[in-house]
Chain A
Amino acid sequence: EPEVTQTPSHQVTQMGQEVILRCVPISNHLYFYWYRQILGQKVEFLVSFYNNEISEKSEIFDDQFSVERPDGSNFTLKIRSTKLEDSAMYFCASSEGFATGDSGYTFGSGTRLTVV
């Protein structure tokens, strides 16, 4: 069964450093997403991406965040200057479509980001 692949599985970084979280969505999917889950809290939407541009973003997704699809397979989330409160599990997801009948998203296994 097709999978969404995320790397690394765990990343530790110092406060103020830039990090790039990487994702390989399912190949025929057109919509890509980043969500995050702070430990013990609910899963929160960050951003959605379609046709090489951001289609929606949440209040969490401020100027220190950016997303990119640098080639035909990868989808990245960059945090420019990490803060302690950015420590969370970051999930990438992709979906086949937007229209009626889509089965929701396929999530990756996540990248646990720890900012120290």
Chain B
Amino acid sequence: AQSVAQPEDQVNVAEGNPLTVKCTYSVSGNPYLFWYVQYPNRGLQFLLKYITGDNLVKGSYGFEAEFNKSQTSFHLKKPSALVSDSALYFCAVRDVNSGYSTLTFGKGTMLLVSP
């Protein structure tokens, strides 16, 4: 079985400061990892993914995430937060070896960036 933990319900950061949204995962095989963002009354928008290769992946809107296999983590980061980054962020995992394409999502972390 695969699972995702996002330990923080909410992250508060001031505009211009760096931000980190945490994610840890559990899969029996190798993971595909994703970050999605959800703005109010909108669907889930793809931010970035880790499939293989470089552990640091860069995505949309200046976000990046680092895959750490030993810590089974995939934390989302941005060097300088914007007020417009305020949204709900979901980490998701898929087990490459499971034979299924199902994504398992974390419960989400609300990011609030203050001016």
Contact = CB atoms under 8 A, between A and B. Distances in A.
Tell whether A and B belong to one assembly. yes
27 contacts: A4-B43, A33-B101, A33-B102, A42-B90, A42-B105, A42-B106, A43-B90, A45-B103, A48-B100, A48-B102, A56-B100, A56-B102, A91-B43, A91-B44, A93-B44, A100-B52, A100-B96, A103-B49, A104-B36, A104-B46, A104-B49, A104-B92, A105-B46, A105-B103, A107-B44, A107-B45, A109-B42
Contacts of B45: 107
B46 A43 contact: no
Interface of B: 32, 34, 36, 41-46, 49, 51-52, 90, 92, 94, 96, 100-108
Q: A6, A35, A43, A110: which has the most chain B beta carbons within 10 Å?
A: A43
Contacts of B42: 109-110
Nearest to A9: B41
Contacts of B107: 41-42
B38 to A, nearest CB: 9
A9 to B, nearest CB: 9
B88 to A, nearest CB: 10
